Amino acid sequence: MRRCSATYERLEARCADDTPKFVHIQCRLVGVNTAAYLHRLGLPKLLDAPTSAENLRALHVAHVEQVPYEALEIWLGRATTVDPAESAGRIIRGRGGYCYHLNGAFSELARALGYDVTRHVGGVQSRGGEPGITANHLVLTARGLPSEDNPGGEWLVDLGLGDALHEPLPLVAGTYTQGPFTYVLRPSEIAPGGWRFVHDPSGSFEGMDFGLAPTGMSAFTEMHRHLTTSPTSGFVRVATIQRRDAYGVDTLRGLQLSRIGHGASSVTLSSARDYYAALEDIFRLPLDDVSAAEKDKLWGRLHDAHEAWLAGDPV
């Protein structure tokens, strides 16, 4: 993996946003099986398909529906990096990830299929928080894909916002509805020339800003370390899993399972059996790479954290 990562970093330097398309074609997935990735998404037919807005949408929708937003590796005591090849391999093996993993891997898949995709530094604003380009989020845009509703052909592509986008948004200011959620896309007030995504009031965060300058994955290394190790990180404090579909979003925070949208509900999972059944049945997360002993330990940590929360202790 280290050798592949080094090769990836060299290629990434050549895959800046302003490089010619023929250079992008050389920057195919390093050490990753593109066919296996598409099989994971249920879209093997797109391996040799032409690039189009329709096919980009199909890839995006399949990814958010089949690959959950999750950071259970933290709770399992497993270290991860922001290397897209590592993230793609984990996805192929049946796991998910959070923004650096999901958008990082997807950007490489899309490039391997011929799409002109660019990475950007973004910042997610929590409810009650201040906006900022904090590098706590990796954002993607795609261009050269005109459609009837977006003749300019530029798109916001983001599989790493948890309960937000189900499909790409035209990179055009406006109001957009996807399932039960209404989003606003407008020019950013803090990123000159950039954009601000405003989440639905029922969503888990306020909004997200990003600039249009292209970036490499190394821009997220330090924040990834913080988000996966700091006691103040939401990923460390609460084990959260989310999966979007066309009609809403399912969320598992600790042991609290809820749904927004069609079939809205909320329930506390009171046993390990129920918890792991929910992961597999609702979130497409069978955890085949996790041993029985690791699952027992994980359940113990989750149960203790839930009891502490009920007692009013900070988690």
Which residues, 6+ apart, have CB-to-CB distance to 197 below 8 Å?
A: 156, 158, 161, 164, 169, 183, 184, 185, 207, 208, 209
Q: What was the pLDDT predicted at 284?
A: 98
**Superfamily classification of domain 231-310:** Arylamine N-acetyltransferase (3.30.2140.10)
Q: What was the pLDDT predicted at 191?
A: 96
Which residues are registered as beta bridge partners of 268? 256
How far apart are the C-alpha atoms of 94 and 78, rounded to whole Å? 16
Q: What was the pLDDT predicted at 314?
A: 56
Give the alpha-carbon dihedral of 135, 41, 141, 143, to 10 degrees. 160
Q: What was the pLDDT predicted at 117?
A: 98
pTM of the full predicted structure? 0.89
How far apart are the C-alpha atoms of 131 and 108, rounded to whole Å? 28
Question: What CATH number matches the domain at 2-221, 3.30.460.80, 3.30.2140.20, 3.40.50.620, 3.20.10.10?
Answer: 3.30.2140.20
Query: What phi, psi does 20 have (nearest 5°)?
Result: -60, 155
The residue ranges of every structural domain in the chain are 2-221, 231-310
R_g over Cα of the chain: 19
Q: What was the pLDDT predicted at 312?
A: 77
Tens-digit pLDDT string for the chain (315 aa): 333 333 333 334 334 444 333 333 333 445 578 999 999 999 999 999 999 999 999 999 999 999 999 999 999 999 999 999 999 999 999 999 999 999 999 999 999 999 999 999 999 999 989 999 999 999 999 999 999 999 999 999 999 999 999 999 999 999 999 999 999 999 999 999 999 999 999 999 999 999 999 999 999 999 999 999 999 999 999 999 999 999 999 999 999 999 999 999 999 999 999 999 999 999 999 999 999 999 999 999 999 999 988 887 655
Helix boundaries (H) for 42-191: 53-66, 72-75, 84-92, 99-112
178-184 long-range CB contacts below 8 Å, 24 or more apart? 178/246, 179/245, 179/246, 179/247, 179/248, 179/261, 179/262, 180/247, 180/248, 180/260, 180/261, 180/262, 181/261
Given this chain, do its domains 2-221 and 231-310 carry the same CATH topology? yes
Q: What was the pLDDT predicted at 11?
A: 39
Which residues, 6+ apart, have CB-to-CB distance to 284 below 8 Å?
A: 65, 66, 67, 68, 243
